[in-house]
Structure 1
Amino acid sequence: MSRDSFVLRPAQLNDIRKLNSLIQVSARGLNQNHYTHAQVDSLIRYVFGVDTELIADQTYYVIEENGKFSACGGWSQRKTLFGSDKCASRKNGYLDPKTDPAKIRAFFVHPDFGRKGLGNRLMIQCEEAVKKAGFCETELMSTLPGLAFYRAHGYVGDQFVDYPLPDGVIVQFVKMGKSFSKN
């Protein structure tokens, strides 16, 4: 499997079914050492999934190999920090690049493709687009298994946030951020 066999492209609305499938497989495969089965089920039910605004904005990407979705992730110039279309914590409106940080959003990698650099490719794509859009900072809400990945990319933050879900299940996230030089 070579790096050249993976294609990174903007996600399209007709990708939603395959993206949601990838997100569920990733969540079940990569979260099991950090969250309980009940927490993963609740995250999939109430938080994880596609945010169609990112697809409409062309800021959500998929990496595929021979039609199989291997990874996805994106960034946003909208106020919502995390969550799919079904998530209760959504906010309306756009960010001001002069005063607000862009959002890094919804990175998921299929367990069969973990540790192959796909997340890194997505992060490079997103950060380049963020800077091109005039943002000097980003922020994100990390899952527990994502902490090491985001820290390796220069994101800082260690305050755990207890997030209650509609079914009473509580999960922990960590809010993180990164600043870019204005070169």
Structure 2
Amino acid sequence: MLGQFGAKQGRKPFGIGAGGDQDAGHGCGLGQYVVARKERSSASAIGLCSAARLIWSIKPPMTEGLALRTALERDLDALRKLIELAISRLQDAFLTPAQVVASRQIMGLDTQLVEDGSYFIVEDAGIIVGCGGWSRRATLYGGDHSRELRNPVLLDPSKDPARIRAMYTHPDHARRGIGRMLLDRCERAAAAEGFASVELMATMSGRPLYVACGYEAAEDCPVDVAGVIVPMTRMRKRLANAAA
């Protein structure tokens, strides 16, 4: 049974709700599901921002020994295993078991990112412990199997935000600053190609990191996967070197 904003019953949810794209059944509209909860969610959003920033200020990332590189085709099998672990184990505090299962339909590895050379890996002693990338294409989220979500059209840096895509950390290496490393690399790469801002679709488990890194919620987007509502939030950030 869904709890408030898609979080488990009895647990205080992070964020202000859920999200998706109303086109083709995955619309990014607030709708009754979010509107009915808008006032109650405002306090949660404020609390999330404060809590996320406090956590990072108290416990700085432990990035010593970590190395970042571009993902290659030979990494695909290892990446799929890491992503499956992350989906299975890092969402339990935010989603019901049914939502975790449903989320697999809209999450996963997008090999187009690897082909484009815009997907990165973080390694610890040669072992992949995190991955994530950015894209100059219109697809906002989803894996190879999420065909209805894919749009390979190239974005226009003069008016469109670049996409931050498929960010995952191995559950045994969470809270080491891996997500921050990947976000920083992706943001710098997007800025180098002329993008002034970036956009992503955040899961509830990933949202605290994005808030701590300066991303702001633009729209709650609940995604209906065969009748199961998976909470997602579209978030944006203006890059530091963007023109005023």
TMscore range, shorter length:
over 0.9
1:76 pairs with 2:135: yes
What is the aligned partner in structure 2 of residue 164 from structure 1?
A: 224
Matched residue, 1:121: 181
| Distance (whole Å) between structure 2 residues aligned to residue 42 and residue 14 of structure 1 | 28
Q: Which runs of 4+ in 1 moved over 4 A?
A: none
Alignment partner of 1:18 is 2:61: no
Cross-structure match for 1:143: 203
TM-score normalized with structure 1 length: 0.93
Q: Root-mean-square deviation (CA), in Å? A: 1.5
Report whether the alignment pairs 1:182 with 2:228: no
> 2:149 is matched with which residue?
89
Q: Distance in 1 between matches of 2:163 and 2:218?
A: 17
> Structure 2: which amino acid aligns with 1:176?
M
> Is 1:110 the counterpart of 2:163 in the alignment?
no
Q: Deviations over 1:116-143 (max 9, x none)?
A: 1111111110111010010001111000
SS in 1 for 2:166: strand
Distance in 2, matches of 1:152 and 1:119, equals 11
Once the two structures are superposed, what CA deviation does each residue of 1:123-174 show, in whole Å capped at 9, x if it has no partner?
A: 1101110100100011110000111110111111153211012x33220100
Distance in 2, Cα, partners of 1:3 & 1:152 = 17
Match of 1:60 among 95, 112, 119: 119
Specify the alignment match of 2:66 in structure 1.
6
Instruction: Report the CA distance shift for 1:91/1:3 in structure 2 as closer, same or farther (over 3 A).
Output: same
Task: Give the number of the structure whose residues are more often strand, by fraction.
Answer: 1
- Encode CA deviations 1:90-122: one digit per residue, 9 max, x unaligned: 113100100110001111111111111111111
Structure exhibiting the larger radius of gyration computed from Cα positions: 2
Length-normalised TM-score, structure 2: 0.70
Tell me the SS of whatever aligns to 2:215: coil
* C-alpha separation in 1, matches of 2:66 and 2:207: 25
Q: Which one is further off, 124-133 or 149-158?
A: 149-158
Identity %: 37
How far apart, CA to CA, are the structure 1 residues paired with 2:110 and 2:176?
A: 25
Unaligned runs of at least 5 residues, structure 1? none
CA distance in 2, matches of 1:92, 1:63: 26
Q: Which amino acid aligns with 2:157?
A: P
- Report the Cα distance in structure 2 between the residues aligned to 1:14 and 1:25, rounded to whole angstroms: 19
1:41-52 alignment, distance < 5 Å: 41-44=101-104, 46-52=105-111
One-letter code aligned to 2:109: V
Larger RCO: Structure 1 or Structure 2 (Cα < 8 Å, ≥ 6 residues apart)? Answer: 2
Counterpart AA for 1:52 = T
| CA–CA separation in structure 2 for the residues paired with 1:11 and 1:169 | 33
Q: Secondary structure at the match of 2:198?
A: strand
Aligned pair 1:29/2:89, yes or no? yes
Size of the alignment, in residue pairs? 180
- Report Cα offsets for 1:45-74 as digits up to 9, x if no partner: x12221111001111111112332111101
SS in 2 for 1:23: helix
